[in-house]
Amino acid sequence: MSFTFRCLDAAADAPLIHSWVTRPYASFWGMLKATVEDVVEEYSKIQSSGHHHALLGIDDGVPAFLMEEYLPDSSPLSGVYAVQPGDIGMHLLVAPPQGTPRNGFTAGVMESVLDRLFQQPGVERVVVEPDARNTKIHVLNARLGFEPAGEVALPDKQALLSFCTRESFHSARAARSSTPINQGASL
């Protein structure tokens, strides 16, 4: 799988993002009851923050996922753990499938996102803080090299703080590429 990335346009992309974040599968995104205007407002704040940035992942010309990267020391995480130089935070939301779901698609998306983040100068560790109840993402995170550091209380949720180092990502990627697709999880 090969994906491209483009900067999210808060106003122009809001109807598309709204159609994703208001679906039941995206309940942990926290925007189930959001309006299109709420999405514009939220992503306008993100894009203008200087420390948080949203991108659309494109698959063969079609938007396929939303990723956010952020500086943990400028986020609610700054008071929760000792941020290290080289840390970058990440959020990921995969679009609902168009047609028949593709086996391994979500893992391929996550691998591409991590690869993009680790290509940035100075990035040594990716930090995630999904809702502690989101067991599906915990499984995917573990498959791609994330190690849980424990639950933490954030303003909007009880989260499972997890870290992925460059080394653990490359080890997980090597293991993933040596496992036939039909033997792995469908994520």
pLDDT score recorded for residue 178: 77
pTM summary value: 0.91
Backbone phi and psi for residue 34, each to the nearest 5 degrees, phi listed first: -70, 150
Across 12-154, where does the E strand assignment appear?
Answer: 52-59, 62-70, 87-94, 125-128, 147-154
pLDDT in tens, 55-110: 999 999 999 999 999 999 999 999 899 999 999 999 999 999 888 888 999 999 99
Calpha distance 158→170 (Å, rounded): 29
pLDDT score recorded for residue 176: 80
Domain boundaries, the chain: 4-183
pLDDT in tens, 103-136: 999 999 999 999 999 999 999 999 999 999 999 9
- The CATH class of the 4-183 domain is alpha beta
